[in-house]
């Protein structure tokens, strides 16, 4: 009798398509930016019959897809579940870092920094340490901890000189030590100047920061303020928001 019940249940699952969830479908939907479909497929794998490898990968892509949709808390829960259930698995370390990334995306830089530091302590021989050092540099810049940020970035350059993050670190190290609020960025200088004039008419003191992209094109960033602490930058951001300006604090 028990065998008959198992067979019946299996047939029910087969007929309803539950076991059709496939990790390759998750990959495809994610790469095609159909994140909700990727989430649906990944949940099917996590909740139903799947191999250990597929379950780990499904959790990882479930978290990534939820990050893409802005569901950062749910994404953190997915990454934590992966780390807890498969602590030695191939996706555990990347999931651990991604927990910090979720906090970073929510502008919770203190929590993000705690996760990245914990990564260094928990995985001292990881192949992903260069990413952790870079994230700690970014996080401390966001908090205004200029010297701490530079220490992490210099350690990154010293220990992993050939990494992509080490090449990116130079730009962060040489940044001026102040907060500013970016309103927009243009490839057309006249458009940037028009926004400058509008901001001035609204009582702000804007400036243009010109940068060149890797392909040599100029980008004109319209920014307001050079402030020594993040609290003042957030107050300026709020004042700009009252005038319906889209904003982002840098660094």
Domain ranges of the chain: 2-173, 179-250
According to DSSP, residue 239 is labeled H
What confidence score (pLDDT) does residue 15 get?
46
Residues above pLDDT 90, as percent of the chain: 79
Tens digits of per-residue pLDDT, 163-216? 999 999 998 998 888 999 999 999 999 999 999 999 999 999 999 999 887 777
- In the predicted structure, residue 222 carries a pLDDT above the cut 50: yes
Strand order through the sheet with 218-227:
206-212, 218-227, 179-186, 248-250
Q: Grade residue 51 by pLDDT with cuts at 50, 70 and 90.
A: confident
- In the predicted structure, residue 4 carries a pLDDT above the cut 70: no
What confidence score (pLDDT) does residue 113 get?
97
What confidence score (pLDDT) does residue 157 get?
96
Is the bond leading into 251 cis (omega within 30 degrees of zero)? yes
What confidence score (pLDDT) does residue 214 get?
74
Examine domains 2-173 and 179-250 and report if their fold is the same. Answer: no
Question: Whole-model pTM?
Answer: 0.78
Q: Grade residue 20 by pLDDT with cuts at 50, 70 and 90.
A: low
Tell me which CATH homologous superfamily contains domain 2-173: Tetratricopeptide repeat domain (1.25.40.10)
CA 227 to CA 230: how far, in whole Å? 7
- As given in the structure block, the two tokens for residue 10 are 């299996």
- In the predicted structure, residue 7 carries a pLDDT above the cut 80: no
- The yes/no answer on whether domain 179-250 falls in CATH 3.30.70.1070 is yes
- As given in the structure block, the two tokens for residue 130 are 């260069």
Residues 172 and 149 sit within 8 Å (Cβ to Cβ): yes
């Amino acid at each position: 009798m028990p065998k008959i019940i198992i067979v019946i249940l299996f047939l029910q699952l087969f007929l309803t398509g539950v076991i059709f969830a496939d990790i390759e479908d998750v990959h495809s939907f994610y790469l095609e930016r159909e994140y909700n479909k990727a989430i649906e497929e990944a949940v099917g794998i996590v909740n139903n019959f799947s191999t250990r490898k597929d379950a780990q990968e499904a959790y990882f892509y479930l978290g990534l897809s939820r990050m893409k949709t802005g569901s950062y808390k749910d994404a953190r829960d997915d990454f934590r579940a992966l780390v807890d259930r498969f602590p030695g698995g191939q996706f555990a370390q990347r999931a651990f870092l991604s927990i910090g990334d979720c906090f970073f995306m929510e502008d919770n830089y203190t929590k993000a920094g705690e996760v990245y530091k914990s990564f260094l302590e928990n995985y001292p021989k990881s192949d992903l340490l260069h990413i952790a050092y870079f994230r700690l540099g970014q996080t401390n810049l966001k908090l205004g901890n200029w010297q701490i940020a530079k220490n992490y970035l210099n350690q990154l350059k010293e220990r992993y000189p050939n990494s992509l993050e080490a090449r990116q670190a130079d730009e962060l190290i040489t940044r001026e030590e102040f907060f500013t609020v970016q309103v927009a960025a243009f490839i057309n200088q006249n458009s940037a100047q028009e926004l400058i004039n509008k901001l001035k008419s609204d009582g702000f003191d804007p400036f243009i920061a010109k940068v060149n992209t890797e392909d040599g094109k100029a980008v004109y960033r319209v920014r307001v303020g050079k402030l020594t602490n993040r609290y003042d930058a957030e107050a300026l951001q709020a004042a700009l928001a009252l005038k319906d300006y889209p904003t982002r604090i840098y660094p």
